[in-house]
């Protein structure tokens, strides 16, 4: 009787804004097809998507509690570890909030997932700072932060922000790759935008599959989920709304979901607005960082899936002048605000009035009592 195949656990740790939403949705859509080839993307139950399960498990590991009611993530890490331990072949664990984990949390993750002589691989997806920095700032605004672009950039340059812990490739991989052979550490570079919109997802999927040791054909169903960036007017509008509503500090999920889910990820997308870009004066600094990253990669001997040249920032054409997100003309902000107000009004009209709903419930109960 043959022994079961040795388990290989591929722990994809981010970084955020590197195609992680697309990857996790495509893994989910193709979970059954992949499992027939011995590749598993575990979930807790059929009612919970693997991406949500992995998010809660990552929160539990990091001892964080946001994105839901207090305690909603408790126990999910151990639940994930148990499900990984029941599998043989290839198991993929993925969530981008894992990138800035502390050394003791990283050690626990590798110890727990490596139980039973499992082979641990780390996968880290990354892209150039010319695209990553603007995307990270506007994503933080979507999640409730209130800082200006200028303040965010200063913290990035100083290396004091969460950005450094999550996006600085040597910092992240010096922690996560500790104790692993370099061939078990895979750096996936996100293609530059010179590719057409139709080419980039397939190429990125192919690169992820190469890092996981998976045939891309095993996941034929395409994902339509993305996490696109907002323009300068829309991001500035959300930042001011965050301040007015005191998001993050108060964590009022009743309106937080409306702001993030409906406005930031739906209604405000697709408007004609200048994209958030890296200021021209920061490109020399970004180029120095990319050179440092490439030198680290080459010295470490880790596996590179893609091209390290993708990590070099490409300045925009000269005919696309930089528009500072902190100085958006009031007229553009007003237009974005009116679109947001219209969307909120339509949503309010669509939703049932809580008081009217309560009246109907009381009336129904009264009629039942009368008929008895």
Average pLDDT over residues 366-371: 54
> What pLDDT digit, counting tens, does each position of 158-215 carry?
887 788 899 999 999 999 999 999 999 999 999 986 544 455 568 999 999 999 999 9
Q: Which of 211, 143, 134, 133 is nearest to 167 (CA)?
A: 133
pLDDT value, residue 289: 97
Partnered with residue 189 across adjacent β-strands are 126
Alpha-carbon distance of 248 to 60, in angstroms, equals 19
Whether the predicted pLDDT of 41 surpasses 50 = yes
Coil, strand or helix: which one is 60? helix
Q: Is the pLDDT of residue 336 over 90?
A: no
Q: What percent of the chain has pLDDT over 70?
A: 83
Average pLDDT over all residues of the chain:
86
pLDDT at 116: 84
DSSP alpha helices (H): ranges in the chain?
A: 20-29, 31-35, 50-61, 76-85, 103-113, 129-142, 149-158, 162-167, 169-176, 199-212, 232-245, 253-257, 283-300, 330-350, 354-371
User: Each residue of 254-312: pLDDT tens digit?
Assistant: 556 666 665 655 666 667 788 899 999 999 999 999 999 999 999 999 999 999 999 99
pLDDT at 246 over 80: no
Residue 334 has pLDDT above 60, yes or no: yes
- At 250, the pLDDT band (50, 70, 90 cuts) reads very low
> Which of the pair, 50 or 257, is modelled with greater confidence?
50
Q: Which residue has the tokens 């829309």?
A: 234
Taking the CB of residue 342, how many other CB atoms lie within 10 A of it? 11
Asked whether the beta carbons of 124 and 14 are under 8 A apart, the reply is yes
**What Rg do the C-alpha atoms of the chain give, in angstroms?**
23
Please report the pLDDT score of residue 313 as a whole number.
96
Domains of the chain: 8-227+279-317 (3.40.50), 230-274+329-372 (no CATH)
Residues whose CB is less than 8 angstroms from the CB of residue 177 and which lie 6 or more positions away in sequence, other chains included: 122, 185, 300, 302
Q: What is the pLDDT of residue 342?
A: 78
Helical pair 20-29 and 199-212, crossing angle rounded to 10 deg: 70
Residue predicted with more confidence, 323 or 68: 323
What is the model's pTM? Answer: 0.86
Determine the pLDDT at residue 35.
96
Residue 2 has pLDDT above 50, yes or no: no
Length of the chain: 372
Closest to 336 (Cα-Cα) out of 198, 215, 240: 240
Beta pairing class for 90-94 and 39-40: parallel
Q: Which of 68-77, 138-147, 169-178, 253-262 has the lowest mean pLDDT?
A: 253-262
Q: Which residues contact 135 (CB under 8 A, 6 or more apart)?
A: 17, 229, 276
**90-94 β-sheet, strand order:** 39-40, 90-94, 8-12, 119-126, 185-189, 303-305
pLDDT bucket at 18, cuts 50 / 70 / 90? very high
Report d(CA 53, CA 55) in Å as an integer: 5
pLDDT confidence tier of residue 5, bands split at 50, 70 and 90: low
First to last CA, the chain: 68
Q: What is the pLDDT at residue 261? A: 61
């Amino acid at each position: 009787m043959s022994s079961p195949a040795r388990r290989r656990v591929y722990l994809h740790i981010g970084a955020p804004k590197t195609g992680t939403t697309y990857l996790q949705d495509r893994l989910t859509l193709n979970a059954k097809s992949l499992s027939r080839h011995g590749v598993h993307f575990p979930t807790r139950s059929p009612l919970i998507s693997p991406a949500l399960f992995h998010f809660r498990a990552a929160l539990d590991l990091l001892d964080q509690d946001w994105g839901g009611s207090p305690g909603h993530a408790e126990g999910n890490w151990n639940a994930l570890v148990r499900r990984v331990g029941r599998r043989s072949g290839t198991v993929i664990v993925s969530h981008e909030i894992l990138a800035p984990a502390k050394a003791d949390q990283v050690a626990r993750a590798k110890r727990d997932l490596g139980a039973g002589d499992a082979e641990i691989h780390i996968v880290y997806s990354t892209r150039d700072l010319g695209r990553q920095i603007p995307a990270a700032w506007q994503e933080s605004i979507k999640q409730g932060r209130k800082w200006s672009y200028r303040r965010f950039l200063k913290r990035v340059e100083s290396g004091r922000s969460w950005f450094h812990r999550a996006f600085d490739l040597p910092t992240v991989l010096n922690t996560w790759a500790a104790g692993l052979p370099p061939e078990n550490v895979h750096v996936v570079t996100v293609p530059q935008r010179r590719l057409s919109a139709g080419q980039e997802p397939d190429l990125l999927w192919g690169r992820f599959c190469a890092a996981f040791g998976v045939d891309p054909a095993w996941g034929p169903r395409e994902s339509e989920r993305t996490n696109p960036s907002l323009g300068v007017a829309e991001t500035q509008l959300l930042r001011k709304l965050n301040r007015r509503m005191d998001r993050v500090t108060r964590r009022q999920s009743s309106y937080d979901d409306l702001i993030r889910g409906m406005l930031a990820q739906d209604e405000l997308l697709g408007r004609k607005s200048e994209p958030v870009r890296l200021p021209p004066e920061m490109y020399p600094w970004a180029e120095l960082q990319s050179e440092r990253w490439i030198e680290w990669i080459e010295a470490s001997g880790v596996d590179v899936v893609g091209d390290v040249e993708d990590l070099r920032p490409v300045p925009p054409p000269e005919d696309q002048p930089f528009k500072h997100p902190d100085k958006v003309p009031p007229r553009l902000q007003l237009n974005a605000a009116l679109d947001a107000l219209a969307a909120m009004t339509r949503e309010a009209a669509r939703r049932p009035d809580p008081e009217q709903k309560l009246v109907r419930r009381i009336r129904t109960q009264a009629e039942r009592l009368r008929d008895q």
